[in-house]
Amino acid sequence: MKYIKKIVIGVFVLSTLYFILCTVSAQTVDLVNRLDDLSDETTFGYNQTVKISIKEITPQKVVIQSPMIVDELGGKIKKYTVMYGEYTMDQIITDTNLINSAKEKTFDFTGTETVLDMELNLYDGLDPNKLYYVRVIPKDINGIGGQISTQDLWFKLVDQTYGEGVYTGIVLHAAAGANMSLANISHSCNPDCTIPTQGSKKITLSWIAVAGSDMVDIYLQDSTNGIFNRLATVNMSNEKYELQTSKNGEHIFKFVPDNGGTEVHYVVNIGGISAGTTVGTGITKVPKTGPAENVIAILFITLGLYLAYRKVYRK
């Protein structure tokens, strides 16, 4: 009986190992097929002339730009997956275990665009001090991938550099103008940013002038639609900008230096502003009515009529 149990356990273990090996092998083959130019059967995607590029880079984000891809029938491809990590595509294909270190972010577009902007930022897990390689995979309405972008792009947020191919230590592109991340931006409020007050508060934004740009555009994000609206263009040397606000909540500012410098976002939290009105004043209390109150009223009326009847009857 013991031998039978050992044989059964042995068969179970071998079967499990076989299943795992087959699964891993199938996933590896599928991955290689997907990354190895996604096979020759794809009818849409990138090529040597249809390419991606780096549009913008700051210490907090990078914006990848791509043309709108169309399929063989002229239909627009509206879904794109950005694949980014610390290894080139050739390295991943050679050692498929490296795929585990890669990250993906998918973007959906309406189809009305001709040029597509895809942003990766710190919330997507980027480490500003690391060098990343990026590729883009277009996908049809069924989620089937087309030809992956043909070139590796690399970028590094901390020094705002990027290039094409394998990184060699030679900087091909770098942001010009002032780097506002070095401007030590701060703020103050009058009255204080969070104490209760009526009307409005004055926000004073301050910074240290940074070389490379003479002017700075200051924007404020509209909380309803996320669009940044320009408030003013000021001299870098002013090192201060003031504005009034009557709204509570997060105020997200954007500082954009001229000469293509590095922009930054800055958040000010405002609270305690009251318009000075009391909600519900002037409302007169209405007597309560309902089935129970109606029944009681009918009983009183009936009782009154009965007493009046008895009085008349006695006469």
- Average pLDDT on 105-115 reads 92
Does residue 44 form part of some domain? no
Q: Show the domain range for 234.
A: 180-274
Question: Which segment of 96-100, 149-153, 218-222, 298-302 scores lowest on mean pLDDT?
Answer: 298-302
Length of the chain: 315
Residues 112, 91: Cα–Cα separation, whole Å = 36
**185 in the same domain as 161:** no
Which has the closest alpha carbon to 47: 67, 62, 29, 33?
67
C-alpha–C-alpha distance, residues 46 and 80, integer Å:
12
User: Looking at residue 259, what is its pLDDT?
Assistant: 77
Here the tokens at position 142 are: 């069924």
Among the three residues 156, 174, 192, which one is the final residue of a domain in this structure? 174
The Cα 133–Cα 155 span in angstroms is: 7
- What pTM was estimated for this model as a whole? 0.47
Write the pLDDT tens digit of every residue in 161-217. Answer: 888 888 876 555 566 778 888 888 999 999 999 999 988 999 999 999 988 888 999
The mean of the pLDDT values for the chain is 78
- Dihedral sign (CA 122, 126, 127, 129): negative
Eight-state DSSP code of residue 290: S
**162 and 219 inside one domain:** no
Residue 200, classed as helix, strand or coil, is coil
CA distance 127 to 100: 17
- What tokens were used for 159? 């020094």
Residue pair 239/206 in contact (Cβ under 8 Å)? The answer is yes
**In terms of domains, do 64 and 158 share one?**
yes
Q: Residue 294: inside a domain, yes or no?
A: no
Let me know whether 154 and 211 are in one domain: no
47 belongs to a structural domain: no
- How far apart CA 62 and CA 92 sit, in angstroms, is 22
Q: Which residues touch 299 (CB under 8 Å, ≥6 apart)?
A: none
The domain boundary residue, chosen from 115, 142, 174? 174
Strands 173-174 and 201-206: unpaired
Rg (CA), the chain: 34
Q: Can you say whether the dihedral through the CA atoms of 17, 21, 26, 31 is positive or negative?
A: positive
Q: Provide the pLDDT confidence category of residue 50 given band limits of 50, 70 and 90.
A: confident
Give the domain CATH number at 154.
2.60.40.10
How many other CB atoms sit within 10 Å of the CB of residue 44? 20
Contact 259, 177 (CB under 8 A): yes
Regarding whether 184 and 145 lie in a shared domain, the answer is: no
The one-character DSSP state at 76 is: B
Please report where in the chains the tokens 């990078």 appear, as a residue. Answer: 62
Q: Domains in the chain: how many in total?
A: 2
User: Do 169 and 258 sit in the same domain of this protein?
Assistant: no
**Is residue 296 assigned to a domain?**
no
| Per-residue pLDDT at 226 | 83
